[in-house]
Structure 1
Amino acid sequence: MKPKKALAILAKGRPLVGVRIDGTLDFTTWGVEIKISKPITIRNCVLDSLKALFCYFHSPVVLRNTKILGDASFYAGYFFEGLHINQCEFLGELDLQCGGHNKNENRVILQSTRFDGFVNFFDCWYEGPFVVRGCSSTAVCHLIANRHCQPN
């Protein structure tokens, strides 16, 4: 599936399930510093890469059992209603720097996920619960060095 078609599905609040995205799934085509109010759910998919710079997610973001072959960037991504990454594989880098900002009891959860590239948590600010459980990494990650995103 082409990224443009995948984004059209997500823009309607519908999940992406069981598809292969050829190219970068680029949320910045919706605009920069935009409010995304529809839930973003990606399950059982394979993505070439993902780009969501300066996106303000006002509904939950869920990635489950999904493989990202290249880099994934949520640079300055705000997850007000939480972010759940479960049973995924990131073969490239994952950039979460300057992001977080989950509110109240809305969790950011990284669970049972494999990271093969650098995972960037620089200047993350998780205001609600932040959980890392059962993950593995073959590359560098500076999660523990960031005092604002200590796992529960």
Structure 2
Amino acid sequence: MTYCHRQCAAEGYALKGCMWIADLKLDWEGTLHNAGGRYAITHCCCAYPVLSKEATKAARTRWEKFRDSFRKDWGEKFGDWPAGEDASWPGHHLRDLKHGGDPVDPDNILPTPPTIHDLLNKEYPRCYDGLPPWNTVGPDLPYVD
């Protein structure tokens, strides 16, 4: 919550809520020692202005035109873009398009399993409305190895 409060304030917006989207575990083994860490991916629900339906549609169209090349570039860095049995995973925009998220910024897109993507799309409005649980601090360690 502190991170999101600072993020929103730095952009000149009030904080409505904060979501912890993912916690990437980064481990590696060297010749002398092992190391690692975690990288938290959050979404700060700042009081961003809502784009018009036309502007949101235009942003979605930009993403759709960019999607294949983005997945190809992502695959060259990290391996094949994740896919299920029937289709590729959606690319989730961390700052959503409706609230001005950049549709083609690689740092704003995360491959997400379809069921999780649907859940995030359902919960984002609750976060922007300042509703629980997104308006309060959660557990110190939300994930267990």
What TM-score does the superposition give when structure 2 sets the normalisation length?
0.21
Decide which structure has greater strand share: 1
Query: Between Structure 1 and Structure 2, which shows a larger proportion of helix residues?
Result: 2
> Which of the two has higher C-alpha Rg?
2
TM-score by length of 1: 0.21
Q: Which has the higher contact order (CA 8 A, sep 6+)?
A: 2
